[in-house]
């Protein structure tokens, strides 16, 4: 092996033979100057953040303790869905919604990209665990990366370092997650602040439970424990093992009578999951606590109920629109420091700012591209997909049971999207299969969380379109089967919500944010059988009197418009749903066609 010459490969802090062999193989291929085993310590964080400041990648924030601003290359700002692949052995297993390439062909393409790609850089070995390390079957991964930004961000987002490596032992399984910026340095070549490549690949090999990422340093493209592992790879594991890996927040809701319900909710990226997870109820006596804001792994407990666990350790939230009025708990979380901000603006006193943080913008800023900015500037100060990356343990309303390895029992699942018309504020599914139909047909306007146009309506089933690691038809079937295998009386009730419906003048019909507690209240009262509903062709919708709008100042007409089921709008959905379902051919469970028939006949 030629790799014996690479400093750091010898005397590795592990005897895990598969891990050692893989690290040696990847070091030999990518030829870094050295290999560093990440321990996750404070000293390491200090050393790497100082290095990132010296490299110009980070600006230390004078106004927040131990916090940094990164400005990325303007071309590397979001997940790249058109460069994301599910490389299953059989193309049919990637399904109609994923990009696919033969795994052997993809490996040969990427092996040539990886050859020598870490020249002049350090290869970091990041042992990590998604979910608690003391779980019965801890979910290990190891990310190799040549990005210090990725190392420090992974330390916020996952349980990393020595504790994970020790628990991995000599032979426990792990998901190999290979990442490179694709920006080798020649001897004497000066580095740039945000190295990356114009060629990008974000690749999952589902059968091997393996991830290869190349060319991007940003978010879900590069922090491989998040979307790549905990959703795409985990969804495949979940299919094979009978559980669910979902794009859902988890919250705890306590009523004035001190009854506790846990709720999971799926929304597409940048549709307010973090805001809902940290909501401050506006109705007296109700309390929300946070367990997770992006991912839920759900398994049946011995009592037959569905238990959810957040596998992450941090929050990677969309910054714009997060403010003291919309999400004060997120503001309190980041104010404690220990955070990395990416592509937001810098204030003159060394703090961060973004659109929506305060009502009045500061008189002068340095924008996310490093230019002078004033309220008269033509462009926003922050990229619409700019992010805060912050430890979840700093959240002041974190539920103490958030890291219980067995999870929390879920009473209700909400699906939601961003729709100007058609979809009522809240609708309860008649039963599990109807709820699966709601999830399978979920639609939303696109956002800045992925590259591409913003505001285009697309089907985003279960808010998982970019994250289902296999054929989406099989995924719908897995949801149907999950319901069949369970005691129906113990399954969570399913609801479809839409905070984004507009009136004829384009204004929002519902105030959203903390007022969404009123919808959560109705949900809980439905579970307890105390709220009334009207049965409509699309499910159970609140009677205007059953929704608590006291003190909101909404007229009866406005409440009715927010809740309205307009058959003419729904009839327009039918051909779109039919076209969507046709994509899946034989893979679509027949129950989904049955549900569509029920909808059609109820609308007739
Ligand atoms: C990302 O974009 O990198 C990300 C973490 O997630 P999302 O798109 O769901 O906000
Ligand atoms: Mn997400
Ligand atoms: Na987009």
pLDDT in tens, 409-433: 999 999 999 999 999 999 999 999 9
Q: Ligand 1 pocket check: which of 275, 387, 389, 466 to mutate, most ligand atoms within 8 Å of Cβ?
A: 387
Residue 424 lies in a domain: yes
> If residue 165 lies in a helix (H) or strand (E), which one and from where to where?
helix 162-168
Instruction: Ligand 1, residue 268: give the atom nearest the CA.
Output: 9
357 Cα: distance to centroid of ligand 3 (angstroms): 22
Q: What is the pLDDT of residues 299-344, one digit of tens each?
A: 999 999 999 999 999 999 999 999 999 999 999 999 999 999 999 9
| Residues 165, 134 within the same domain | yes
Per-residue confidence (pLDDT) for residue 204, from 0 to 100: 99
| Residues 563, 422 within the same domain | yes
Closest to 355 in 3D by CA, of 335, 336, 381: 381
Residue 209 lies in a domain: yes
Instruction: Ligand 1, residue 221: give the atom nearest the CA.
Output: 3
| Residues 406, 521 within the same domain | yes
| Residues 514, 531 within the same domain | yes
Per-residue confidence (pLDDT) for residue 10, from 0 to 100: 87
Ligand with minimal distance to 449 CA: 1
451 Cα: distance to centroid of ligand 3 (angstroms): 5
269 lines ligand 1 (CB under 6 A): yes
487 Cα: distance to centroid of ligand 2 (angstroms): 30
Nearest CA to ligand 1 atom 4: 220
Residue 437 lies in a domain: yes
| Residues 379, 424 within the same domain | no
**DSSP structure string for 176-228:** EEEEE-S----TTPPPPSS---SS-EEEEETTTTEEEEES--SHHHH-TIIII
Residue 71 lies in a domain: no
270 Cα: distance to centroid of ligand 2 (angstroms): 7
Residue 64 lies in a domain: no
Domain boundary among 189, 207, 242: 242
Instruction: Ligand 1, residue 78: give the atom nearest the CA.
Output: 2
Q: How many domains does the chain have?
A: 3
| Residues 434, 524 within the same domain | yes
Domain boundary among 198, 216, 242: 242
Residue recorded with tokens 């049965």 = 535
79 lines ligand 1 (CB under 6 A): yes
Q: Ligand 1 pocket check: which of 219, 311, 392 to mutate, most ligand atoms within 8 Å of Cβ?
A: 219
Residue 447 assigned to a binding site? no
Closest to 544 in 3D by CA, of 529, 553, 534, 552: 534
| Residues 284, 385 within the same domain | no
Q: How many CA atoms lie within 13 A of 256 on its CB side?
A: 8
CB 547 within 8 A of CB 517: no
| 5, pLDDT greater than 80 | no
pTM equals 0.97
Nearest CA to ligand 1 atom 3: 220
| pLDDT category of residue 449 using cuts at 50, 70 and 90 | confident
117 flagged as catalytic: no
* Residues, Cβ < 5 Å to ion ligand 3: 446, 450, 452, 454
Nearest CA to ligand 1 atom 9: 269
Per-residue confidence (pLDDT) for residue 455, from 0 to 100: 87
Residue 275 assigned to a binding site? yes
Residue 69 lies in a domain: no
Residue 178: give its domain's CATH number.
Answer: 3.40.449.10
Residue 72 assigned to a binding site? no
Average pLDDT over residues 170-179: 98
247 Cα: distance to centroid of ligand 2 (angstroms): 6
| pLDDT category of residue 456 using cuts at 50, 70 and 90 | confident
The Cα 312–Cα 246 span in angstroms is 13
Per-residue confidence (pLDDT) for residue 412, from 0 to 100: 98
Q: How many CA atoms lie within 13 A of 291 on its CB side?
A: 30
| pLDDT category of residue 3 using cuts at 50, 70 and 90 | very low
State the catalytic residue, choosing from 129, 228, 271, 389: 271
Q: What is the pLDDT of residues 72-86, one digit of tens each?
A: 999 999 999 999 999
273 lines ligand 1 (CB under 6 A): no
Per-residue confidence (pLDDT) for residue 87, from 0 to 100: 99
| Residues 389, 416 within the same domain | no
Closest to 69 in 3D by CA, of 391, 370, 420: 370
Nearest CA to ligand 1 atom 5: 220
Residue 344 lies in a domain: yes
Q: How many CA atoms lie within 13 A of 334 on its CB side?
A: 27
220 lines ligand 1 (CB under 6 A): yes
Average pLDDT over residues 479-493: 97
| 122, pLDDT greater than 90 | yes
Average pLDDT over residues 162-188: 98
| Residues 426, 550 within the same domain | yes
Q: What is the pLDDT of residues 509-523, one digit of tens each?
A: 999 999 999 999 999
Residue 187 lies in a domain: yes
The Cα 150–Cα 553 span in angstroms is 47
Residue 385 assigned to a binding site? yes
| Residues 516, 582 within the same domain | yes
Residue 229 assigned to a binding site? no
| Residues 388, 477 within the same domain | no
Ligand with minimal distance to 79 CA: 1
| 1, pLDDT greater than 50 | no
Percent pLDDT > 70 in the chain is: 99
Ligand with minimal distance to 447 CA: 3
CB 372 within 8 A of CB 302: no
Ligand with minimal distance to 451 CA: 3
Per-residue confidence (pLDDT) for residue 270, from 0 to 100: 87
Residue 480: give its domain's CATH number.
Answer: 3.90.228.20
Residue 373: give its domain's CATH number.
Answer: 2.170.8.10
Instruction: Ligand 1, residue 449: give the atom nearest the CA.
Output: 8
Most distant CA pair in the chain: distance in Å?
A: 76
| 67, pLDDT greater than 90 | yes
150 Cα: distance to centroid of ligand 3 (angstroms): 23
Q: What is the pLDDT of residues 274-290, one digit of tens each?
A: 999 999 999 999 999 99
Domain boundary among 333, 359, 394: 394
The Cα 265–Cα 176 span in angstroms is 29
Q: What is the pLDDT of residues 13-27, one digit of tens each?
A: 999 999 999 999 999
| Residues 45, 89 within the same domain | yes
**Domain span holding position 171:** 2-58+78-242
32 lines ligand 1 (CB under 6 A): no
Complex ipTM value: 0.90
85 Cα: distance to centroid of ligand 2 (angstroms): 18
């Amino acid at each position: 092996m030629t790799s014996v010459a690479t400093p750091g490969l010898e005397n590795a802090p592990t005897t895990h033979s598969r891990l050692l062999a893989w690290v040696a193989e990847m070091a030999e291929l990518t030829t870094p100057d050295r290999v560093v085993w990440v321990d996750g310590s404070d000293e390491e964080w200090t050393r790497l953040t100082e290095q990132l400041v010296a490299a110009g990648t980070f600006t230390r924030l004078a106004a927040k303790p131990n916090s940094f601003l990164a400005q990325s290359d303007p071309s590397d700002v979001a997940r790249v869905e058109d460069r994301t692949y599910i490389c299953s052995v059989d193309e049919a297993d990637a399904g109609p919604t994923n990009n696919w390439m033969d795994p052997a062909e993809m490996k040969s393409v990427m092996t040539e990209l990886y050859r020598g790609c870490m020249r002049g850089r350090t290869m970091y070995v990041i042992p990590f665990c998604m979910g608690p390390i003391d779980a019965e079957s801890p979910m290990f991964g190891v990310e190799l990366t040549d990005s210090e930004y990725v190392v420090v961000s992974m330390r916020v987002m996952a349980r990393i370092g020595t504790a994970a490596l020790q628990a991995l032992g000599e032979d426990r399984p792990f998901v190999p997650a290979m990442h490179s910026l694709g920006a080798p340095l020649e001897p004497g070549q000066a580095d740039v602040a945000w190295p990356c490549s114009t060629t990008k690949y974000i690749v999952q090999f589902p059968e091997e439970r393996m991830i290869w990422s190349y060319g991007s340093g940003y978010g879900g493209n590069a922090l491989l424990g998040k979307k790549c592992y905990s959703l795409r790879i985990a969804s495949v594991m979940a299919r094979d093992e009978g559980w669910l890996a979902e794009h859902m927040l988890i919250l705890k809701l306590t009523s004035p009578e001190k009854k506790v319900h846990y709720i999971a909710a799926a929304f597409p990226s940048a549709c307010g999951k973090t805001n809902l997870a940290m909501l401050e109820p506006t109705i007296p006596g109700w309390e929300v606590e946070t367990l997770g804001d992006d991912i839920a792994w759900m398994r049946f407990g011995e009592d037959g109920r569905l238990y959810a666990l957040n596998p992450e350790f941090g929050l990677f939230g969309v910054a714009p629109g997060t403010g003291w009025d919309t999400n004060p708990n997120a503001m309190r979380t980041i104010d404690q420091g220990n955070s990395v901000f990416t592509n937001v603006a810098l204030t003159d006193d060394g703090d961060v700012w973004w659109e929506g943080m305060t009502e009045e913008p500061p008189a002068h800023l340095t924008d996310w591209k490093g230019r002078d900015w004033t309220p008269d500037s033509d462009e926003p100060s922050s990229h619409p997909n700019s992010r805060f990356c912050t430890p979840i343990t700093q959240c002041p309303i974190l539920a103490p049971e958030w890291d219980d390895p067995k999870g929390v029992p879920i009473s209700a699942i909400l699906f939601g999207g961003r729709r100007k018309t058609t979809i009522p504020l809240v609708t309860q599914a008649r039963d599990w299969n109807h709820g699966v139909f709601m999830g399978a047909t979920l639609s939303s306007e696109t956002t800045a969380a992925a590259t591409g146009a913003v505001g285009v309506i697309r089907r985003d089933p279960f808010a998982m379109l970019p994250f289902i690691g296999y054929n989406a038809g099989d995924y719908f079937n897995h949801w149907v089967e999950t319901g069949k295998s369970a005691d129906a009386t113990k399954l969570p009730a399913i609801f479809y919500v839409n905070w984004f419906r507009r009136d004829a003048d384009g204004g929002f019909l519902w105030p959203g944010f903390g007022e969404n507690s009123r919808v959560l209240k109705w949900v809980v009262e439905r579970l307890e059988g105390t709220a009334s509903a009207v049965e409509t062709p699309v499910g159970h919708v609140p009677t205007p009197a059953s929704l608590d709008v006291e003190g909101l100042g909404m007229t009866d007409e406005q409440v009715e418009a927010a809740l309205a089921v307009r058959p003419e709008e729904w009839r327009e959905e039918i051909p779109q749903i039919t076209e969507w379902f046709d994509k899946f051919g034989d893979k679509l469970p027949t129950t989904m066609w049955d549900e569509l028939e029920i909808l059609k006949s109820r609308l007739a």
